[in-house]
Amino acid sequence: MKKSQIGFLFILPWVIGFIIFTVFPIIAALYIAMTDWSIIGQASFIGFQNFRAIFADPTFYKALLVTGRYAILAIPLTIITALLVALGVNNDYKGIGIFRTIFYMPSIVSGVAVAIVFKWILDPTYGVLNSLLRLFGLTGPDWLYDPAWVLPSYLIMAIWGASGGLYIYLAALRDIPRELYEGATIDGAGWLQKIRYITLPMLTPILFYNLVMGIISAFRKFTDAYILGGAGEEGVFYMVYLYQQAFSFYKMGYATALAWILFVIILGLTLVVNYTKKYWVYAERK
Amino acid sequence: MKMPLIYLVLTTGLFLSIFPYLWMVLSSFKVSGEIFTRFWPSKLTLSNYAFILQGGTGQERNFVGSIVNSLIITIIPTISVVFFGMLTAYALRRLKVRGYRYFENIIIYQMLFPGVLFLIPLFLMMRDWGMINNYSGMILRYLIDPWAIFIYIQFFKTIPESLLEAARIDGASEIKIITRIMLPLSKTTTAIVILFTFMARWGEFLWPLIVNKNYDKMPLSVLLALFTKGEYKTYPGVQMAGATLLTLPIVVLFLVFRRYFEEGISFTGLKG
């Protein structure tokens, strides 16, 4: 067999997989979104009716609000937390490896386990957090059981998990040329100035990357929201809403239309962020 | 900055970071009266583990079986992802299949495409193929991972062609070159692919939740989550035992292969 034939044979499994599990579902999703497909019975083509129904559904806007609000607050909070942690452990002090290891752990541990543990840490009556507040004479809120405190509860979890993004920042910090700092020292710059004028600008490509990833993961938030929920409708994140429509009410067409809207939102935000790139992201001149 | 100050700040952060795990593990060994009243247990008990592993509510939910299920739906994709990752990357990068640059771009798009859109079409497909409520439905879509192909492509770029030519002159087949030359050379890359794939599949939640409703086939993550919402709602100790079992393999893997994790992230930044 010729080299090129062997090569084609080797990529064939991926090509088949790509067609079955990527190309076909996208095309199918276009069609399903335009039908009234439920899990049983016949599906009929209804055009844009699903989209019209979605835009008339207050629950949709509520889910969008819950998710969007969370994204706006959680993304900067996690980026800042991860950056601070990375700056803190970016040195050769004794035992720093242990710090790095433990700070990284939230990103490897299953979301299910984290959700279950926080469910009890945030428990209004027995939870560790409120017990701690009581020690200081404070009465803690009902967290996930009080509509006003659902969002802060999810933000606490987001901040706790943020240090897991550590290594990406560490790698970027390592890549900053040492001469820049040396030059700045000679010019009499303090550490705050070095961070402001050297570290942050040099980190902008990684901040950009994390911003995009943050948008995607905030809008896809599901596991902990599904397990923990939240008082009122405050815990119904977009993906939870989509899941309920598809697998509790079996409205497959409606849920697929929701998936398309989510896709457009994520894509749109990514494009907007990408457009702003040239104003704030440092690009090495080639 | 002065060193003692930074240690103080870091140690505070460390305590906050580690506290949930510590509380989880300690609570899993506590008798129920002590979970919320003492941080450090006065005596250790295995009753929570016994309860969960024996299905103590009389529901006969098989948590031992769910660990086996988790291993099945984790290990099969992990091996397969490595195999097809190498095979595809080798064909594209080293055999330079016609239009390989074009294929490589497709792989990047496939990798970045949000999977949300596939969820329902794939579910309906699995249903039509009779793959609901069994392992194949949970496994099939994860057998090939564009991310792994991408990583192998990056690494295979760096291997000198002369090495492969020499092997070909000695009469080695392309498959032999992959197993005898590429595999031993790409140990680090393979370790990274194995670790991140294992982690992703072990912690997987949404897909197995959707595609399998059969309690006997459920992975630990799904069974535990359903129990936490349902029958075990008021059993914190048992939930903590389950959460510890779910966390343990990943933490052990992480501690043993820490070097690869660090390398893996600075290598691609695309996972984790």
pLDDT digits (tens, 9 = 90+) for A104-149: 988 888 899 999 999 999 999 989 999 999 999 999 999 999 999 9
For residues B75 and B208, membership in a common domain is answered with: yes
pLDDT, tens digit (0-9, with 9 covering 90-100), for B5-17: 888 889 999 999 9
pLDDT, tens digit (0-9, with 9 covering 90-100), for B88-116: 999 999 999 999 999 999 999 998 888 88
How many domains in chain B? 2
pLDDT, tens digit (0-9, with 9 covering 90-100), for B218-231: 999 999 999 888 87
Distance CA B264, CA A105 (A): 15
For the ranges B135-144, B156-165, B175-184, B261-270, the maximum mean pLDDT occurs at B135-144
Distance CA A162, CA B247 (A): 18
The predicted structure's pLDDT at residue B270: 47
For residue B158, which phi and psi values (nearest 5 degrees)?
-85, -10
Task: Give ipTM to 2 decimals.
Answer: 0.91
* Inter-chain CB proximity B88 and A14 less than 8 Å: yes
Tokens linked to A285: 């001149």
Instruction: Tell me whether residue B137 is in a domain.
Output: yes
For residues B124 and B187, membership in a common domain is answered with: yes
* Inter-chain CB proximity A120 and B236 less than 8 Å: yes
* Inter-chain CB proximity B247 and A110 less than 8 Å: yes
* Inter-chain CB proximity A108 and B251 less than 8 Å: yes
How many domains in chain A? 1
For residues B14 and B72, membership in a common domain is answered with: no
Residue type, position B246, single letter:
L
* Inter-chain CB proximity A99 and B14 less than 8 Å: yes
Instruction: Tell me whether residue B263 is in a domain.
Output: yes
For residues B20 and B102, membership in a common domain is answered with: no
The predicted structure's pLDDT at residue B56: 57
Q: Is the pLDDT of residue B213 over 50?
A: yes
CATH of the domain at A196: 1.10.3720.10
Judge contact between A93 and B7, C-beta under 8 A: yes
Show the DSSP H helices in B90-160 as ranges: 100-112, 119-128, 135-139, 146-156
Quote the domain boundaries for residue A94: 52-280
* Inter-chain CB proximity A32 and B21 less than 8 Å: no
Maximum alpha-carbon separation in chain A: 80
User: What's the gap in Å between the CA of B185 and the closest CA on chain A?
Assistant: 20
Distance CA B144, CA B77 (A): 8
Instruction: Tell me whether residue A45 is in a domain.
Output: no
CATH of the domain at B116: 1.10.3720.10
Instruction: Tell me whether residue B53 is in a domain.
Output: no
Tell me the pLDDT of chain B averaged across its residues: 89
Instruction: Tell me whether residue A190 is in a domain.
Output: yes
User: What's the gap in Å between the CA of B248 and the closest CA on chain A?
Assistant: 9
Q: With residue A79 as reference, give the H or E element that holds it.
A: helix A58-89
Q: In chain A, whose CA is at the least distance from the CA of B243?
A: A113
Instruction: Tell the burial category of B41 from Cβ atoms under 10 Å away from its Cβ (0-12, 13-18, 19+).
Output: middle
Instruction: Tell the burial category of A94 from Cβ atoms under 10 Å away from its Cβ (0-12, 13-18, 19+).
Output: exposed
Instruction: Tell me whether residue B15 is in a domain.
Output: yes
The predicted structure's pLDDT at residue A113: 96
Instruction: Tell me whether residue B231 is in a domain.
Output: no
B228 closest CA partner among A224, A218, A142, A148? A224
Distance CA B202, CA A128 (A): 28
Q: In chain B, whose CA is at the least distance from the CA of A161?
A: B17
Chain A residue numbers touching B114 (CB-CB < 8 A) = 216, 220, 262-263, 266
Chain A residue numbers touching B266 (CB-CB < 8 A) = 167-168, 170-171, 174
Task: Select from B5, B14, B17 the residue whose CB has the most chain A CBs within 10 Å, as the one to mutate to test that interface.
Answer: B17
A245 closest CA partner among A234, A232, A259? A259
The SS3 of residue A38 is strand
Tokens linked to B191: 């370790």
pLDDT, tens digit (0-9, with 9 covering 90-100), for A54-112: 999 999 999 999 999 999 999 999 999 999 999 999 988 888 888 998 999 888 888 99
B262 closest CA partner among A207, A162, A95, A86? A86
For residue A44, which phi and psi values (nearest 5 degrees)?
-125, 150
Instruction: State mean pLDDT over A17-44.
Output: 90
Distance CA B241, CA B197 (A): 25
Instruction: Tell me whether residue A214 is in a domain.
Output: yes
Which residue from A3, A21, A116 is facing B95, i.e. has the nearest CB? Answer: A3
For residues B31 and B75, membership in a common domain is answered with: no
Instruction: Report the range of poorest mean pLDDT among A210-224, B111-125, B255-269.
Output: B255-269
Local confidence band at B1 (pLDDT 50, 70, 90 cut-offs): low
* Inter-chain CB proximity B240 and A85 less than 8 Å: no
The SS3 of residue A35 is strand
Tokens linked to B185: 């050379």
Local confidence band at B272 (pLDDT 50, 70, 90 cut-offs): very low
Instruction: Tell me whether residue A76 is in a domain.
Output: yes
Cβ neighbours for B26, distance < 8 A, ≥ 6 positions apart: B39, B40, B41
Which residue from A21, A88, A164 is facing B141, i.e. has the nearest CB? Answer: A21
Distance CA B128, CA A239 (A): 24
Name the residue with tokens 């059993």.
B235
Show the DSSP H helices in chain B as ranges: 3-28, 47-54, 63-89, 100-112, 119-128, 135-139, 146-156, 161-169, 174-177, 183-185, 187-203, 206-211, 220-229, 236-256, 258-268
For residues B19 and B152, membership in a common domain is answered with: no
Chain A residue numbers touching B107 (CB-CB < 8 A) = 14
DSSP letter at A94?
Answer: T
Neighbours of A133 (CB within 10 A): 14
The SS3 of residue B59 is coil
Instruction: State mean pLDDT over A19-25.
Output: 95
Q: Is B239 touching A (CB cutoff 8 A)?
A: yes
Name the residue with tokens 């979890």.
A157
Tell me the pLDDT of chain A averaged across its residues: 92
DSSP letter at A251?
Answer: B
For residues B15 and B121, membership in a common domain is answered with: no
* Inter-chain CB proximity B269 and A209 less than 8 Å: yes
Judge contact between A24 and B121, C-beta under 8 A: yes
Instruction: Tell me whether residue B72 is in a domain.
Output: yes
Distance CA A169, CA A227 (A): 30
For residue B52, which phi and psi values (nearest 5 degrees)?
-70, -40
Quote the domain boundaries for residue B20: 3-45
Instruction: Tell me whether residue B60 is in a domain.
Output: no
Distance CA B226, CA A227 (A): 8
pLDDT, tens digit (0-9, with 9 covering 90-100), for A160-189: 999 988 888 998 898 899 899 999 989 988
Instruction: Tell me whether residue A155 is in a domain.
Output: yes
Strand extents, DSSP E, chain A: none
Name the B residues in 128-147 with CB < 8 Å from any A CB: 141, 143-144, 146
Instruction: Tell me whether residue B136 is in a domain.
Output: yes
Residues in chain A: 286
The predicted structure's pLDDT at residue B15: 93
* Inter-chain CB proximity B120 and A11 less than 8 Å: no
Which residue from A28, A93, A112 is facing B246, i.e. has the nearest CB? Answer: A112
Local confidence band at B242 (pLDDT 50, 70, 90 cut-offs): very high
Chain A residue numbers touching B251 (CB-CB < 8 A) = 105, 108-109
pLDDT, tens digit (0-9, with 9 covering 90-100), for B27-84: 999 988 888 888 888 889 999 998 888 865 566 678 899 999 999 999 999 999 999 9
Name the B residues in 33-72 with CB < 8 Å from any A CB: 35-36
Judge contact between B136 and B259, C-beta under 8 A: no
For residue A134, which phi and psi values (nearest 5 degrees)?
-60, -35
Instruction: State mean pLDDT over B247-270.
Output: 78
Neighbours of A2 (CB within 10 A): 8
Instruction: Tell me whether residue A2 is in a domain.
Output: no
B21 closest CA partner among B219, B218, B247? B247
B204 closest CA partner among B196, B215, B214, B192? B196
Q: Is the pLDDT of residue B235 over 90?
A: no
